[in-house]
């Protein structure tokens, strides 16, 4: 007795297709962020000999600079991953800190990574504001009765 393979029915094929689509959305996404200078470009840097313009010509524009002065430039790159709807997780981070002396001459290059970072806990205090506290019910019902009659103009009249 021979058995013949029957093709999958429409409901079974639809369920399998839907499962494939749903499961493909759960794959981990790994993203590269930032612009990391190449090792060849970093090898061209000569502390004590190059200016800010020379460094920018070799490495490109930095991701950010120091807040209060132009003595440090930061080239930042990171790899992050996210699985489905969970928050981003940083896999690695590389930061090159390019330092200049007050005359604008390259003084050094340091490499930092994820372990050099510091966790900062944001302050959760709030600033008090003037005015009265209004409940959500007061907000929803606050304008009931404030509308004027149709055709009325002036304060309290409905917008046209």
Residue that has been written with the tokens 């004027």 in this structure: 148
Residues 6+ apart with CB under 8 A from 55: 45, 73, 98, 100, 106
pLDDT digit of tens for each residue in the chain (160 aa)?
565 665 555 677 778 777 776 666 566 677 777 888 899 999 999 999 999 999 999 999 998 888 887 799 999 888 888 877 778 888 888 899 999 999 999 999 999 987 787 777 777 888 877 777 778 888 778 777 666 555 565 555 555 5
Q: What is the structure's pLDDT at 106?
A: 95
Bridge partner residues of 65 (DSSP): 73
Q: What is the structure's pLDDT at 83?
A: 75
- Beta 72-83 vs 89-100: how paired, if at all? antiparallel
Q: What is the structure's pLDDT at 27?
A: 63
Q: Count of CB atoms within 10 A of residue 75's CB?
A: 23
Cα distances (Å, whole numbers) of residue 65 to 45, 49, 145: 18, 20, 56
Residue extents of the structural domains in the chain: 28-116
Find the length of the chain. 160
Residue 47 φ/ψ, nearest 5 degrees: -55, 140
Q: Cβ distance 47 to 109 under 8 Å?
A: yes
Helix/strand/coil for 114: helix
Q: What is the structure's pLDDT at 80?
A: 84
């Amino acid at each position: 007795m021979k058995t013949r393979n029957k093709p999958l029915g429409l409901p079974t094929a639809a369920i399998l297709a839907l499962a494939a689509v749903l499961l493909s959305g759960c794959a981990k996404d790994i993203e590269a962020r930032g612009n990391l200078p190449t090792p060849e470009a970093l090898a061209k840097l000569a502390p004590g000999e190059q200016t800010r313009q020379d460094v920018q010509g070799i490495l490109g524009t930095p991701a950010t600079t120091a807040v209060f002065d132009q003595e440090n430039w930061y080239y930042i790159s990171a790899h992050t991953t996210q699985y489905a709807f969970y928050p981003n997780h940083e896999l690695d981070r590389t930061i090159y800190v390019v330092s200049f002396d007050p005359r604008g001459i390259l003084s050094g290059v340091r490499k930092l990574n994820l372990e050099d970072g510091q966790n900062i806990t944001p302050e959760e205090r709030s600033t008090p504001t003037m005015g009265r506290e209004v409940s959500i019910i007061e907000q929803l019902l606050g304008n009931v009765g404030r509308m004027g009659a149709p055709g009325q103009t002036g304060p309290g009249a409905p917008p046209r």
